[in-house]
Amino acid sequence: MKVRIHREKPDPWAVRRQRIQHVWTTPFWAFEWILEWVAFALSRWTFLDVLEYLEGFSVLIAVIFYFSESGDRLKQKHYQAWQVINTAQGKGGSGGRIEALQELNHDGVPLVGVDVSGAFLQNLYLEHARLLRSNFSSADLRDSNLDFADFSDADLRSANFRQSHLQGAAFGRADLQDADLTGADLTGVDFSGATLTNADLSNANLANLRWRDLSSVKNVNIYGVKNAPDGFIPWAKQHGAVQTESDASQ
């Protein structure tokens, strides 16, 4: 808050006039003297004190309103993010969806049922995302970080997860037909009830994989898989999996 100076009463004009050494400067000194009287009068006006207090009070009110409306601003931000995702639905490219998805997930918003099929989403970061019943079919998710994401009941047909991090992700009953998981980190992944028909797991890390309740591994490429759990490779081959080097190098 500004502090106003309470000024001393200016000398009468007759006294001030005696100090003028050059006659031609009289108009300038007269103007200065008038301004001094104006400043003196305003410094004694209580109304200006009230205005200064109101100015400080208005700042306080603005701060209160800013924080009280923070929830509405957050809702508006989420609405705009969903609008970006939904507007670009069914289209190729990113269309701002990478930033929108990451923003929503960062704020703890569930992404249940989101449809980004066919989207270009390389280097997507959605750790711990709730993606149940989502549609990522034919989406390009190469080099993404999806650790501990929940893809239960999701449509992931022909999705490209090459070199992605999927540690601890849940794919319960998810459809991964023709999905490309080449070189992906599948440590601790839960494939309970998942369909992996024609999927490519070549060179993937399968440490601590939960695989015993897999729905289908027909034609799954398991060439060069790393840290496969005991019994997985014989079981997979028995149920139609293949080991094809040429597919792994494409």
At residue 13, the pLDDT reads: 73
Cβ within 8 Å of residue 147, ≥6 positions away: 127, 128, 165, 166, 167, 168, 169
Residue-wise pLDDT for 96-155, tens only, equals: 999 999 999 999 999 999 999 999 999 999 999 999 999 999 999 999 999 999 999 999
Closest C-alpha to 123, from 97, 104, 156: 97
pLDDT of residue 144: 98
Among the ranges given (51-65, 66-80, 124-138, 229-243), the one the predictor scored with the smallest mean pLDDT: 51-65
For residue 54, pLDDT over 80 is answered with no
Does residue 213 surpass a pLDDT of 60? yes
- Neighbouring C-beta atoms of residue 216, cutoff 10 Å: 18
Q: Which residues have C-beta within 8 Å of that of residue 129, sequence separation ≥ 6? A: 101, 105, 111, 146, 149, 150
Residue-level pLDDT at 245:
85
- Report pLDDT for 73: 74
Q: How confident is the model at residue 174 (pLDDT cuts 50, 70, 90)?
A: very high
H or E, element range at 14: helix 13-18
The answer to whether the beta carbons of residues 164 and 143 sit under 8 Å apart is: yes
Q: What is the mean pLDDT of residues 236-250?
A: 79
Q: For 181-204, what is each residue's pLDDT tens digit?
A: 999 999 999 999 999 999 999 999
Which residues partner with 180 through β-bridges?
A: 160, 200
**Domain spans, the chain:** 13-68, 99-250
pLDDT per position as a tens digit, 158-173: 999 999 999 999 999 9
Q: How far is CA 194 from CA 171, 173, 183, 233, in A?
A: 6, 4, 19, 17
- pLDDT (average), residues 46-65: 63
What whole-number distance in Å separates Cα of residue 83 and Cα of residue 166?
Answer: 27
Which pLDDT does position 154 carry in this prediction? 98
Q: Which CATH class is domain 99-250?
A: mainly beta
In 3-state terms, the chain is what percent helix, strand and coil (to 5)? Answer: 35, 10, 55
Q: pLDDT digit string (tens) for 10-21?
A: 777 777 767 777
Determine the Cα–Cα distance for residues 174 and 194; give it in Å rounded to an integer: 5
